[in-house]
Amino acid sequence: MVELMAIRERVANSLSPYFDQPVNDRTFAVLQEADVEFRNWYATWDAAFSQKYEDAAFYRQSLQLQHLHAEHYHNATALRGIDGPEDVQNMPAAQRELAIKSINIGRQILEITTGSPSYREGMKYAVHYTHATATFSASFLLRLCRLFPEQCDMNEIRVLVERLADLLLQVPGRRYALTLQLMLKRFKKRKASSVSRSPKATRDSSHHQVIYSSESQMSQGMSQQPISPVYDTHFPGHQDPSASRHAHHPPQQHGQPHAGPPAHGQPYNQYQANVDHIWRGFETTSNEQLPVWLSDQTLGGNSFSQNGIDAFLLPTDFLPPSTQIW
């Protein structure tokens, strides 16, 4: 909406003069003011939409996600320069609080995007920007979880990102699905390497559930964002009545939400081959030499300041050639 775009532009203009400087109190002050504006914008429009749409309707979920994406993106600008455990240890309290808040925002974004039948259906007709912002949120969340593992249930986050990658494979979002699958490969490789070096690696695999249980309890209840409905994570084959009335102007037709990962037919096999081919090109690359879109060592740094969301997306040069229609 125009009002939200105007707020985001003001926030970006206020933050941009400080991008080449260390994050300081001025940055946090701008974000605090922006948070109030974003919340007021959301409250005003959600109150208006509630007169016509139920809580789980696509329009209200889209409104909520626009609010969450705006906060997530601008929070990320204040987390630049946090690249490793030593940075986490030395970060000021306000920045740490912002990072934890961003973890909760990112998780909520993925829960709504992948868990709501009406929103999953709407993703088929969404513009590329919607797919790109969802991919950014997932990629940024994986990076935050690496830096703040005590604040995350890593297995839960991995599952949410996998669901989003599967969803993006079903819509015109191959670039974004490839981006997340490559990040997941990186995530799993790091996890496997960590386990292989641990003297506890030979214990029964059920022990890992104990590790995650305490993290899950810690992460619950921390989000101060607007709470969305709880969705059936099994994605039952029914459709929300509002699914045919999407903000992205879909055709007036009804479809069934997908019940899980895409079938492993020829298109999926070709897609997986693309992932494996790209991955082999970076498999032996050192952490320091990995590009930002594949590395979980960085929260974006200068690349994010200069390129925005594109810094987190697979470059189009890596995509297979499109089919030509003559």
Tens of pLDDT, residues 254-270: 333 344 444 444 455 55
pLDDT of amino acid 172: 81
Q: 193: pLDDT confidence band, cut at 50, 70 and 90?
A: low
Given a cut of 90, whether residue 81 has pLDDT beyond it is: no
Please, are residues 123 and 130 in contact by the beta-carbon 8 Å criterion? yes
CB 88, CB 153: distance < 8 Å: no
Check residues 191 and 302 and name the one with the higher pLDDT: 302
Question: Which of 231, 262, 288 lies closest to 111 in space, CA to CA?
Answer: 231
The Cα 322–Cα 300 span in angstroms is: 29
Position 234 scores a pLDDT of: 36
